[in-house]
Amino acid sequence: PGKKTSLKKLTNGALPTTPMAECREVDKGDSTVSITVVGASGDLAKKKIYPALFALYYENCLPKHFTIFGYARSKMTDAELRKMVSKTLKCRINERGNCDGKMDEFLNRCFYQSGQYDSDDNFAELDKKLKEHEAGRFSNRLFYLSVPPNIFIDVVKCVSTSTSSSSGWTRVIVEKPFGRDSESSAALTRGLKQYLVEDQIFRIDHYLGKELVENLSVLRFSNLIFQPLWSRQYIRNVQLNFSEDFGTEGRGGYFDSYGIIRDIMQNHLLQILALFAMESPVSLDAEDIRNEKVKVLRSMKPLQLENVVVGQYKSHIKDGVSYPTYTEDKTVAKDSLTPTFAAAALFIDNARWDGVPFLMKAGKALHMQRAEIRVQFRHVPGNLYKRFFTDLDEATNELFIRLQPNAAIYLKINNKIPGLGMRLDCSNLDLLYAARYSKEIPDAYERLLLDAIEGERRLFIRSDELDVAWKLFTPLLKELEDKKITPELYSYGSTGPIEAHNLASKYNVKWG
């Protein structure tokens, strides 16, 4: 016990985790992995992909022999690429001691090849360079398609004909959006499958790589206390809330042709819903988990217009600062009806969830940044203490799973306020990650890149999953567009459209 006390003191109450022990065994043998970031000059590559690769390198998670090639049309030398990348590399690791040294080592393994996305010759040049670096070793190749989706097929065609590995595996990570609706998504899948088999395609939904999303299944399936409660019998409603406190500035062009429903709901929030609601998989194997996700998605009813509210943000002046209207963005059509906010009620038609509303809300330019799952339980039958509450709704237990910011899981319970009288209070049993775990949470892209290198498909979207996800949203999206439904305007920095509150009230829910 003495030892435990001093350990806790040393770590200021937080429990230490074993350093470096988390990196799963990657191939440390004589094979090599070549990672090509296609679209290396772009925003995602700089913001997410290179920093994630560096973090993996820092944590010794990349194989001994690896090379990272950037590929794009922009002309750049290796030195220029390194300079560009170095500006966004951050050392998120606690022990900052050797960060600069490690950054230099990492950058020295980064190279650049300029070329067109549809040129077999340019990809053959890339192949030649990759071979020089692979130096005759058994070689595996990962291509990260960080380019707009209309270029995906050109790239995979060139990869398959000119740049695929002749001795090891070739895998392709594809970024969302995977189409705009059922039809375009199916066409994209068909296009990709002309050149790749399903096992080579890693469709990324970076929300699946978030720590608390991964933890959902641990929480559900390895805690006896939650298992029996996880159904319509005890759960009154579930909320999936996503909000950002900034608008679409800088990405207006992309956003305007997709909108919040395609950008956040059809993928990130629906994936969380599937993991939340699926039945217990036979095992932790990727196929078993993905089979269960598909099953629960197939049990859902497509979204109905009467269960959906759309909004668009308008300018607002706060503390002397003026925040813009969505359509002021030069890359957005002046008369755009694209929703920057949506709220929806979804239902699962199966024995476990019949009648339970799953409320989704996603919005840009709202009053706070947050991604959270909120589970509201039913009232305690015959509650002995009901006279101590003015509103029984306030007395229901609630479970919060906060993905970000400040990752946390907490359970709202009723408790007696200490003292001689009888007064009750709602308190939280909480697990705040920052207080409990001293190690920083890896970025979602780190986990997903590592999984792709290791061939772990659990956190990637299978094509049948994608089909069923689009089936749920396509009729609604078509109706919104055909009927030219005007989004309700809400002020930048507000809680969103009033109608969203009315939608929640219809199902006896108050948004969290």
If we measure between CA atoms, which residue out of 176, 163, 148, 281 comes closest to residue 222? Answer: 281
Residue closer to ligand NDP (CB basis): 44 or 99: 44
- List, in sequence order, every beta strand (DSSP E) within 39-134: 65-72, 110-114
Radius of gyration of the chain (CA): 24
Tokens 């998989």, located at residue: 281
Residues contacting residue 202 through CB under 8 Å, at least 6 positions apart: 171, 172, 173, 174, 448, 451, 452, 457, 460
CB of 116 to ligand NDP, least distance (A): 8
Binds 149: which of ligand BG6, ligand NDP, none (CB < 5-8 Å by kind): ligand NDP
Residue closer to ligand NDP (CB basis): 122 or 146: 146
Q: Which residue is nearest to ligand NDP (CB)?
A: 42
CB 404 within 8 A of CB 395: no
Binds 263: which of ligand NDP, ligand BG6, none (CB < 5-8 Å by kind): ligand BG6
Distance CA 133, CA 66 (A): 9
Six-digit token string for 362: 């996603």
Helices 463-482 and 286-298 cross at an angle (nearest 10°) of 30
- Per the DSSP assignment, residues forming a β-bridge with 174 are 145, 203
Q: Which residue is nearest to ligand BG6 (CB)?
A: 263
Interface ranges with ligand NDP (CB under 6 A): 39, 41-45, 72-74, 117, 146-149, 151, 175-177, 254
Residue closer to ligand NDP (CB basis): 292 or 451: 451
Q: Active site includes 379?
A: no
Binds 146: which of ligand BG6, ligand NDP, none (CB < 5-8 Å by kind): ligand NDP
CB of 43 to ligand NDP, least distance (A): 4
Binds 148: which of ligand NDP, ligand BG6, none (CB < 5-8 Å by kind): ligand NDP
CB of 41 to ligand NDP, least distance (A): 4
Binds 147: which of ligand NDP, ligand BG6, none (CB < 5-8 Å by kind): ligand NDP
Residue closer to ligand NDP (CB basis): 46 or 462: 46
Binds 426: which of ligand NDP, ligand BG6, none (CB < 5-8 Å by kind): none
Distances 479 to 60, 224, 257, 475 between C-alpha atoms, Å: 50, 43, 16, 6
Residue closer to ligand BG6 (CB basis): 37 or 110: 37
Q: What are phi and psi of 65, to 5 degrees?
A: -100, 110
DSSP code for 397: -
Residue closer to ligand NDP (CB basis): 45 or 348: 45
CB of 396 to ligand BG6, least distance (A): 28
Catalytic residue among 133, 268, 316, 501: 268
Interface ranges with ligand BG6 (CB under 6 A): 206, 244, 263, 371
What are all long-range contacts of 8-13, with beta carbons under 8 Å and residues at least 24 apart?
A: 11/438, 13/435
> Which are the catalytic amino acids?
268
